Structure 1
Amino acid sequence: MTEQPKLRPERPFFSSGPTCKPPGWSLDKIDTKSLGRSHRSAYAKGRLKYAIDLSKELLGVPEDYLVGIMPGSDTGALECAMWTMLGARPATVAAWESFGNVWIQDAVKQLKLKDLTVLDADYGEIPDLGSIPQDNDVVFTWNGTTSGAKIPNTDWLAPGRAGVTINDATSAVFAMEMDWAKLDATTYSWQKVMGSEAQHGMLILGPKAVERIESYDPEWPLPKLFRLKKGGKINRSIFEGATINTPSMLATEDYIVALEWAKSIGGREAMFERANRNAKTVTDWIESTPWLRNMVSDPAKRTNTGVCMVFQGDWYESLSAEEQAAVPKKIASTLEKMDVGYDFNGYRDAPPSLRIWCGGSLEQEDIARLLPWIEWAYEELKEGRL
Structure 2
Amino acid sequence: MTSKPTRLPSNPRFSSGPCAKRPGWTPDALGSAFLGRSHRSKEGKARLKLAITKTRELLGLPEGFHVGIVPGSDTGAFEGAMWSLLGARGVDVLAWESFGKGWVTDIVKHLKIADARIHEADYGALPDLKFVDFTRDVVFTWNGTTSGVKVPNSEWIPGDREGLTFIDATSAIFAQPIDWSKADVVTYSWQKVLGGEGAHGMLILSPRAVARLETYTPPWPLPKLFRLAKKGQLDAAIFEGETINTPSMLCVEDYLDALSWAERSGGLKGLMARADANARVLFDWIDRTDWIANLALDPATRSNTSVCLKIVDPDILALSAAEQAAFVKTLVARLEAEGAAYDIGSYRDAPAGLRIWTGATVEASDLDALTTWLDWAFREGKASLRT
Q: TM-score range by the shorter chain?
A: over 0.9
Distance 1:346 1:68 in 2: 31
Distance 1:305 1:328 in 2: 21
Preserved contact between residue 68 and residue 238 of structure 2 (Cα < 8 Å): yes
Distance 2:316 2:330 in 1: 14
Distance 2:96 2:379 in 1: 32
Distance 1:320 1:159 in 2: 48
Preserved contact between residue 332 and residue 345 of structure 2 (Cα < 8 Å): yes
Deviations 1:19-41, CA, capped at 9 Å, x for gaps? 00000101111143411110101
**Residues 171 and 164 from structure 1, CA distance in 2 versus in 1: closer, same or farther, beyond 3 angstroms?**
same
Which range moves more in the overlay, 121-130 or 320-329? 320-329
Find the counterpart in structure 2 of residue 270 from structure 1.
270
Deviations 1:284-339, CA, capped at 9 Å, x for gaps? 11121111111011100001001011011221122122111112211111111121
The total of aligned residue pairs comes to 386
Distance 1:71 1:33 in 2: 19
How far did 1:129 drift?
1.7
Find the counterpart in structure 1 of residue 71 from structure 2.
71
Preserved contact between residue 174 and residue 268 of structure 1 (Cα < 8 Å): yes
1:224-243 to 2 correspondence within 5 Å? 224-243=224-243
Where 1:118 maps in the other structure, the secondary structure is strand
Distance 2:230 2:313 in 1: 60
Where 1:67 maps in the other structure, the secondary structure is strand
Q: Is 1:35 matched with 2:35?
A: yes
Preserved contact between residue 238 and residue 244 of structure 1 (Cα < 8 Å): yes
Find the counterpart in structure 2 of residue 346 from structure 1.
346
Preserved contact between residue 32 and residue 250 of structure 1 (Cα < 8 Å): no
Structure 1, unaligned runs of 5 or more: none
1:1-386 to 2 correspondence within 5 Å? 1-384=1-384
How far did 1:157 drift?
1.1
Preserved contact between residue 93 and residue 104 of structure 1 (Cα < 8 Å): yes
Which range moves more in the overlay, 219-228 or 280-289? 280-289
Q: Normalized against structure 1, the TM-score is what?
A: 0.98
> Percent identity between the aligned chains?
53
Distance 2:328 2:284 in 1: 19
Preserved contact between residue 275 and residue 304 of structure 1 (Cα < 8 Å): yes
Distance 2:43 2:88 in 1: 39
Q: Normalized against structure 2, the TM-score is what?
A: 0.98
**Residues 285 and 33 from structure 1, CA distance in 2 versus in 1: closer, same or farther, beyond 3 angstroms?**
closer
Where 2:161 maps in the other structure, the secondary structure is coil
Distance 1:160 1:37 in 2: 46
Deviations 1:70-121, CA, capped at 9 Å, x for gaps? 1000000001111111110010110100000000000011000011101110
**Residues 367 and 109 from structure 1, CA distance in 2 versus in 1: closer, same or farther, beyond 3 angstroms?**
same
Distance 2:297 2:132 in 1: 23
Deviations 1:321-370, CA, capped at 9 Å, x for gaps? 21111122111111111211101111111001101100000000011101
Deviations 1:42-95, CA, capped at 9 Å, x for gaps? 111100000011011111111210000010000000011111111100101101
Letter in 1 for 2:207: P
Where 1:383 maps in the other structure, the secondary structure is helix
Letter in 2 for 1:324: Q
Distance 1:296 1:320 in 2: 22
Which range moves more in the overlay, 31-40 or 104-113? 31-40
How far did 1:245 drift?
0.5
Distance 2:281 2:27 in 1: 30
Preserved contact between residue 33 and residue 253 of structure 2 (Cα < 8 Å): no
How far did 1:232 drift?
1.1
Runs of 4+ in 1 over 3 A off after TM superposition: none
Structure 2, unaligned runs of 5 or more: none
How far did 1:134 drift?
1.8
Distance 2:313 2:6 in 1: 27
Distance 1:353 1:339 in 2: 19
Distance 2:52 2:150 in 1: 26
